Amino acid sequence: MQALPGNVQPMLIDAAAGKRVYMRTNRSYCFTAGETARQLSIVVSSDPVGQLAVAGASASAGAEGVSVSYTLSKPASVSVEVRNIAGRLVGRAADGELQTTGLQSVVWNCRNNAGAKVPAGLYLISIAAATEDGQRAQGLTSVMVTR
């Protein structure tokens, strides 16, 4: 995969199962052999429209918590994690939620995983998205929580 230019998308297609697997982020593909022969094909495309991206990540603190906004280039399963400045996981605003293309917004309630309010300070927010075919993209932003 390293020899392929960065602007191309290698996709493994299993027509019998109706599956497409993005080969840059998936190292293997498993299937159960049946009575009929399986035909797998690899398609390499330079179409940037089909690539997953997380763009425009921003966060703002308010009375109800921290609002995190971002844009997805295609539907994906999204997890939004909040970490302290040392990189330790503090909480989650989304955990594997299926979201559509376009502008998205989630709210973090400024509480840690145990339910306690977090202290004032700077927090890092990471947005991880994954499509059904295995494409992955990330976004990162920060927010200052005051008390």
Tell me what pLDDT residue 67 has: 96
The HSE-up count of residue 13 (CA atoms within 13 Å, CB side) is: 9
Tell me what pLDDT residue 49 has: 55
Q: What are phi and psi of 8, to 5 degrees?
A: -110, 155
Answer yes or no: do 112 and 63 share one domain. Answer: yes
- Our count of domains for the chain comes to 2
Residue 101, pLDDT > 80, answer yes
Tell me what pLDDT residue 97 has: 95
pLDDT digits (tens, 9 = 90+) for 104-117: 999 999 999 999 99
Answer yes or no: do 66 and 39 share one domain. Answer: no
Answer yes or no: do 61 and 133 share one domain. Answer: yes
Q: Which residues contact 46 (CB under 8 A, 6 or more apart)?
A: 7, 8, 9
Answer yes or no: do 28 and 60 share one domain. Answer: no
Q: Which residues contact 5 (CB under 8 A, 6 or more apart)?
A: none
pLDDT digits (tens, 9 = 90+) for 11-60: 888 887 888 888 887 888 888 777 777 888 888 877 655 688 999 999 99
pLDDT digits (tens, 9 = 90+) for 56-97: 999 999 888 999 999 999 999 999 999 999 999 999 999 999
Answer yes or no: do 63 and 126 share one domain. Answer: yes
